[in-house]
């Protein structure tokens, strides 16, 4: 048994590494702690940022009614939804519906003046 980097250094049997248990805190515990410490608004922002950085486990913790809709968040949810089982997809549908509805309203509000301006006669 060697003594250099990567050697077990005389350790035998299990328990010499980082372990095989799930990391702590999990998404649910982390979400609850964020809400308790900072309130639901900050919680949603942090969870959305975590989802955008690739943490699929936080997607189901996002609250569809209080998350701030954005194109980036919708893109992230749709990108990660492709590999999820049906049970988890069903949990994401209300979030996707809310994001699409809110972004559609926002886009309609922005486009309406431009579209109505083209139908008015020129002076």
pLDDT digits (tens, 9 = 90+) for 55-79: 888 888 888 888 889 999 999 899 8
In a domain, 22, yes or no: no
Residue with tokens 């980097």: 5
In a domain, 41, yes or no: yes
User: What is the domain count for the chain?
Assistant: 1
In a domain, 92, yes or no: yes
Provide the percentage of residues in the chain whose pLDDT is more than 70: 76
> Is this model's pTM higher than 0.75 or not?
no
- Relative orientation angle of helices 40-52 and 71-81, to the nearest 10 degrees: 60
In a domain, 64, yes or no: yes
- Cα 37 to chain centroid, rounded: 19
In a domain, 10, yes or no: no
Tokens coding 10: 């005389």
| Residue-number span of the structural domain to which 70 is assigned | 27-113
Which of 29, 30, 83 is closest to 56 using CA atoms? 83
């Amino acid at each position: 048994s060697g003594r250099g980097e990567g050697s077990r250094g005389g350790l035998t049997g299990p328990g010499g590494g980082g372990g095989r248990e799930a990391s702590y805190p999990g998404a649910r515990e982390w979400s609850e702690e964020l809400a308790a410490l900072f309130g639901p608004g900050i919680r949603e922002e942090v969870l959305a940022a975590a989802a955008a950085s690739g943490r699929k486990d936080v997607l189901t913790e996002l609250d569809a009614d209080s998350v701030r809709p954005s194109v980036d968040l919708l893109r992230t949810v749709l990108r990660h939804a492709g590999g999820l089982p049906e049970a988890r997809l069903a949990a994401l549908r209300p979030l996707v519906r809310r994001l699409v509805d809110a972004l559609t309203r926002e886009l309609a509000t922005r486009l309406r003046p431009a579209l109505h301006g083209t139908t008015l006669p020129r002076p």
